[in-house]
Amino acid sequence: MSEESSSRGSDFWRTLAQRKDRKEAQRKLEERYRTLVEQAPIAIVVHMETRIVYANARAVAALGATSPDDLKNRSIWDCIDQDYRQIVAERIETIYDQESHVPVTERRQAQEQLRQSETLHQTLVEEINDVIYTLDEQGRITYISPVVERVSEYKPDDLIGKPFVHFVHPDDRDFLLKSYQRTRSGVQEPYEFRILDKQGSIRFVRSLSRLITENEQPAGVRGVLVDITERKKNEQERERLIGELEAKNAELERFTYTVSHDLKSPLVTIKGFLGLLEKDVLTGNAEQIKQDISQIQGAADKMQRLLEELLELSRIGRLMNPPERASLTDLAREAALLADGQITERGVAVVIAPDMPAVYGDRVRLLQIFQNLLGNAVKFMGDQPEPRIEIAAATRDAEVVCSVRDNGMGIAPKYHDKVFGLFEQIYPDGDGTGIGLTLVKRIVEVHGGAIELASEGEGCGCTFTFSLPLG
């Protein structure tokens, strides 16, 4: 035999061996995909037009059949609740519309070829909307379907061979490891956790997995991962809205009680002094008549202030002026100018930091914040021999934090939350209505900020700190 003939013979046997290896590799790959689909912990059904051509074990159980053959050639409409058929029909129509450029005859031939193809299971695994994965005994990823890239931006090759916890949120890793051990012990249950995508953003997922066995020994787990981020966001938004509604209902209940109580007080005063006025008129006591009328006038004025401030409070969040950029320095100076009479009378030194940052919002409402806080500080200076108010602000991330500090009477820590309540007056002898700080809090919150009070107690002064969006 010549050298050339010997070489051709070697090439032939090498090519034959390679073909055999490729066929064996293809067979193993197809077997893997078939196992992934048939043992998937979710129901998978394939239909051509409206006739079922394939159903995995979970689908057979979910639809109350005894074997896949019981479902073959059945109409999908037999398996769908009447209330959902229209939704499913529209979805199917959309899918067929996307393929409408393919002639019907060709499409049906292609569908028939797909049904008969040995790659059916691979197609199901790779095109299903949820992520299918397998882990080995050590929790390393041995397979993960391509759709994982849509969920996490990781390609399958980025994750194969790595521990599953590699892209799980650190705070959920202990929980996930315990859940994995439960699955390895044969427990099959869904669990929810967070993952970090390639950009570090949080995604919420739900997983259902089952134990894989080889020769009756645990060999890992196989599962399905569903992206539930949007659902979680909707749930969180719903909980936020429910909490907001409950808070508003509680506020409305307190509002109704306090309004009826505080409006009743001046009415009782008016009614009482009208009775005294009648007697004094009969006796002709001019001096007492003058005092009676003064008391009645004072009670009527208080009621008017209450009603006006309640009306103002009700408008916050509904009637807003167009938002604009406003300098905090200008707002503080304007508020001090408006309160100049009170400030001068009490001899208060007001120090306003120059060049404070600008904010973005309703300028009229923002001015009310400074008017109320300045007015309160002046009113409750007490016997301070050198009364002083300082207004300053600084930026913090995307917001401005402003403080109004005084060295006046101060407020005990146990009343710090109470001061922002409707009609709450820490010093009952004051001539206010108890609405001012409630108004301030509402304006700040409508602008997306928050306000708090700091005071070490009576005689130690107060500092009101609030945040507003940066202008």
Q: What domains can be seen in the chain, in order of their start residue?
A: 3-126 (3.30.450), 129-227 (3.30.450.20), 321-471 (3.30.565.10)
* pTM, full prediction: 0.46
pLDDT at 196: 92
pLDDT at 388: 94
278 or 81: which leads in pLDDT? 278
pLDDT at 20: 66
Beta carbons of 24 and 31 less than 8 angstroms apart: no
pLDDT at 464: 92
Mean pLDDT along residues 31-56: 68
pLDDT at 102: 44
Spatial distance between the Cα atoms of 410 and 416, rounded to a whole number of angstroms? 10
Mean pLDDT along residues 296-317: 72
pLDDT at 320: 62
pLDDT at 2: 53
Mean pLDDT along residues 402-421: 82
pLDDT at 170: 93
Spatial distance between the Cα atoms of 323 and 358, rounded to a whole number of angstroms? 13
pLDDT at 470: 80
Cβ-count burial of 217 within 10 angstroms (0-12 exposed, 13-18 middle, 19+ buried)? Answer: exposed
Q: What is the mean pLDDT of the chain?
A: 78
* Least confident piece of the model among 9-18, 68-77, 182-191, 334-343: 9-18
Residue 278 clears pLDDT 80, i.e. is over it: yes
pLDDT at 41: 61
470 or 234: which leads in pLDDT? 234
Mean pLDDT along residues 225-238: 91
pLDDT, tens digit, for every residue of 198-220? 999 999 999 888 888 877 788 88
Residue 107 clears pLDDT 90, i.e. is over it: no
Mean pLDDT along residues 95-108: 49
What distances in angstroms separate CA 330 from CA 43, 174, 334, one per listed residue?
Answer: 66, 54, 6
What distances in angstroms separate CA 125 from CA 35, 67, 103, 147, 443, one per listed residue?
Answer: 10, 21, 27, 9, 54
Spatial distance between the Cα atoms of 323 and 280, rounded to a whole number of angstroms? 56
Residue 6 clears pLDDT 60, i.e. is over it: no
Please report which confidence band the pLDDT of residue 95 belongs to, taking 50, 70 and 90 as the band edges.
low
Please report which confidence band the pLDDT of residue 112 belongs to, taking 50, 70 and 90 as the band edges.
low
* Least confident piece of the model among 19-23, 124-128, 200-204, 464-468: 124-128
Spatial distance between the Cα atoms of 70 and 68, rounded to a whole number of angstroms? 5
* Least confident piece of the model among 38-42, 170-174, 377-381, 455-459: 38-42
312 or 303: which leads in pLDDT? 303
Amino acid, res. 207: S
pLDDT, tens digit, for every residue of 146-162? 888 988 999 999 999 99
**Highest mean pLDDT pick, 78-87, 97-106, 355-364:** 355-364
pLDDT, tens digit, for every residue of 16-38? 666 666 666 555 555 655 665 66
Residue 125 clears pLDDT 80, i.e. is over it: no
Residue 72 clears pLDDT 70, i.e. is over it: yes
- Establish how many alpha carbons lie within 13 A of residue 66's alpha carbon, considering only the half-sphere containing its beta carbon: 0
* Least confident piece of the model among 86-90, 166-170, 199-203, 407-411: 86-90
pLDDT at 36: 58
pLDDT at 127: 56
- The radius of gyration of the chain's CA atoms, rounded to the nearest angstrom, is 38
Mean pLDDT along residues 341-365: 89
Please report which confidence band the pLDDT of residue 70 belongs to, taking 50, 70 and 90 as the band edges.
confident
pLDDT at 223: 86
**Beta strands 51-55; 45-48: pairing state:** antiparallel
Beta carbons of 327 and 333 less than 8 angstroms apart: no
Please report which confidence band the pLDDT of residue 387 belongs to, taking 50, 70 and 90 as the band edges.
very high
* Least confident piece of the model among 222-226, 305-309, 320-324, 329-333: 305-309
